């Protein structure tokens, strides 16, 4: 999935709702009982969307435009008519199949119970006309990948500060038994105030849940089975890979055991986190390899790249990253 881009509000403090603060149900009743408010909204929507271009609806959410598309589905910018807030809507592709869609719904429901300042908040999971959607917090900002590529390039201290926030978000998910399985610089977002959030838990699964919707590869990585040339293997390293609905993650950031088709756990996310932080600090990933097979060989032999010349990052940081790998 692409990054969630837009504007939105999120307090993320996990506090409970006071008795004198309207709950979503109270707001819903007020909306239904206020013709003037409904008329005002209808007027605004009429100005935004002429009759010739009626907006698409997902229940109470009015679609404004498309933000991006990925292997799991399409991400839309929308507006919640009942709670008066912008949201992102992730509409799952129909080809995923009932079993996989049901699992993704369970994971989104689990994420909806997680409120943390460093995780993009999931608001609701629903289904309209056979289409499954996930409504979530809409955040304006850059992915860490975009943030790292800006000029002047952030120094190692700034990189560590930003990734520590993402680490807090991953740790919070792990306490709920949720494993991301595809953490990388493109699956997070940093808002304009410097607050970082992990996103795209659409590839996540519950730790300990049977993995019976994934194919038996006999220990042979699916990307290797699918590749027909070295060039295809090169392309696959930075792409999230799937087969028959099974999400494998992105090879360039995956631990060796995940590449080999074995079960991912919190340590897998730790590895992906350390690869991502290493790339942010040193400007390159720790393991060399232009093809999938070469990358696996480099990882198997623990052949970590030497520190680039001119790096100002302390040796202690490198030791920490190597331990995490």
Of 20, 80, 84, 182, the active-site residue reads: 182
Q: Are 31 and 38 spatial neighbours (Cβ–Cβ below 8 Å)?
A: yes
Characterise 243 by phi-psi region: left (phi > 0), alpha (psi -120 to 50), beta (else).
Answer: beta
DSSP-assigned letters across all residues of 58-99: ETTEEEEEEEEE-SSEEEEEEEETTTTEEEEEEEEPGGG-HH
Q: Are 207 and 265 spatial neighbours (Cβ–Cβ below 8 Å)?
A: yes
Greatest CA separation for the chain = 69
* 136: number of Cβ within 10 Å: 25
Q: Are 207 and 178 spatial neighbours (Cβ–Cβ below 8 Å)?
A: yes
DSSP-assigned letters across all residues of 141-208: EE-HHHHHHSSSPP-HHHHHHHHHHHHHHHHHHHHTTEE-S--STTSEEEETTS-EEE--GGG-EETT
Q: Is 210 a catalytic residue?
A: no
Q: Locate 50 and state its tokens.
A: 């002429």
* Rounded-to-integer distance, Cα 138 and Cα 200, Å: 12
**3-state secondary structure (DSSP) of residue 298:** helix
Active site residues: 182
């Amino acid at each position: 999935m692409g990054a969630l881009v837009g504007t939105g509000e999120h307090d993320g403090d996990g506090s409970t709702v006071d008795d004198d603060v309207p709950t979503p149900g109270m707001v819903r009743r007020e909306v239904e009982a206020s013709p003037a408010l409904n008329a005002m909204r209808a007027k605004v929507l009429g100005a935004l969307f002429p009759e010739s271009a009626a907006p698409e609806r997902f229940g109470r959410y009015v679609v404004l435009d498309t933000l991006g598309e990925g292997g799991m589905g399409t991400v839309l910018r929308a507006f919640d008519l009942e709670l008066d807030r912008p949201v992102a809507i992730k509409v799952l592709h129909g080809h995923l199949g009932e079993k996989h869609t049901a699992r993704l719904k369970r994971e989104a429901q689990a994420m909806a119970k997680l409120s943390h300042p460093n995780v993009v908040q999931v608001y609701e999971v629903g289904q309209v006309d056979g289409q499954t959607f996930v409504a979530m917090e809409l955040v304006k900002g850059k992915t860490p990948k975009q943030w790292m590529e800006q000029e002047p390039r952030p120094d190692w201290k700034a990189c560590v500060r930003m990734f520590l926030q993402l680490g807090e978000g991953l740790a919070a998910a792990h306490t709920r038994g949720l494993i991301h399985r595809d953490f990388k610089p493109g699956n997070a977002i940093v808002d304009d105030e410097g607050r970082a959030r992990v996103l795209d838990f659409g590839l996540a699964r519950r730790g300990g849940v049977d993995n019976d919707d994934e194919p038996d590869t006999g220990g042979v990585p699916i990307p290797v089975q699918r590749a027909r040339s070295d060039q295809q293997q090169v392309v696959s390293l930075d792409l999230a890979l799937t087969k028959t609905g099974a999400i494998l993650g992105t090879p360039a950031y995956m631990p060796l055991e995940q590449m080999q088709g074995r079960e991912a756990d919190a340590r897998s996310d730790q590895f992906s986190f350390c690869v991502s932080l290493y790339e942010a600090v040193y400007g390159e990933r720790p393991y060399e390899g232009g093809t999938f097979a070469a990358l696996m060989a480099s990882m198997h032999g623990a052949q970590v790249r030497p520190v680039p010349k001119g790096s100002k990052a302390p040796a202690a940081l490198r030791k920490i990253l190597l331990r995490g790998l």
